[in-house]
Amino acid sequence: MADRLKGKATIVTGAGKGIGRGIAQVFAAEGAKVLVADIDQRAAQETAEDLGRSGAEAVAVRVDVSKAADAEAMARAAIERFGRIDVLCQNAGIYPEVRIAEMTEADWDHVHAINLKGTFLTVKACLPQMVQQGYGRIVITSSITGPRVGNPGLAHYAATKAGVNGFIRTAAIEFAKQGITINAVEPGNIMTPGMEGQLGADYIRAQEQSIPMGKLGEPEDVAYAMLFLASDEAKYITGQTIVVDGGQILPESRFAVG
């Protein structure tokens, strides 16, 4: 099916690279008008230009999702450019690795400010326009880490993603009667520049051995799950999550992976 988001005004945060860029590309291919938001202005511009070359309407904005003023400016930019906000994909997030014994309060606060507070701020900034329209689709990038599994070195990250899942369930109830759905996708290990550069080849090989499908996912795998939740095919789904992990959380142990 094509044109599932034809003409829909969409914001994708963290869209300069990785999963966010994949979301922006898939949504644009399905007819969405995309506001490409990222803290890295150059990366956002590169994504927007790439979408423009494919014939999509796209504009780049710099946003630090941990700052309320930035989130509000992002929402205003979408309204000024597109006249409305139909879809918000809150994807921006970080996952610096540090064990609890070495973790500082600043480490904890920084991850929470972007991953969890940033989710609250971006959603809050877009909700007034969606309420006015009587329509909105909010899809958030969560993770299997936190809601489903643990990973040494990522306690702060895991806490934020578990928090995201709790947030969407209550938010979904609060705005259900305004025509707004709020859902999330829980990716497993997805091959992105951050994954490759930060965690390295040894980590990737080890993770592949624990995934029944035998490989890491691609950004597009997450994007297509988000596309479903952002489309009217999912109009009666809210407060839910979809796991996209190649079966990673299924085995009882590593010996169960054939």
First to last CA, the chain: 34
**Residues 7 and 31 sit within 8 Å (Cβ to Cβ):** yes
Active-site residue, selected from the candidate residues 95, 135, 157, 236 = 157
Question: Catalytic site residue 157?
Answer: yes
Alpha-carbon gap, residue 12 to 8, rounded angstroms: 12
> Residue 245 in 3-state DSSP?
coil
User: Residues 71, 146, 192, 194: what is their CA dihedral angle, to the nearest 10 degrees?
Assistant: 70
> Residue 142 in 3-state DSSP?
coil
> Residue 104 in 3-state DSSP?
coil
User: Are β-strands 241-244 and 180-187 bridged in parallel, bridged antiparallel, or unpaired?
Assistant: parallel
Which residues in 157-192 are b (16+ Cβ under 10 Å) and which e?
bbbbbbbbbebbeebbeebeeeebbbbbbbbbbbbb
Alpha-carbon gap, residue 5 to 216, rounded angstroms: 27
**Residues 185 and 240 sit within 8 Å (Cβ to Cβ):** no
Q: How many residues does the chain have?
A: 258
As annotated, the active-site residues are: 157
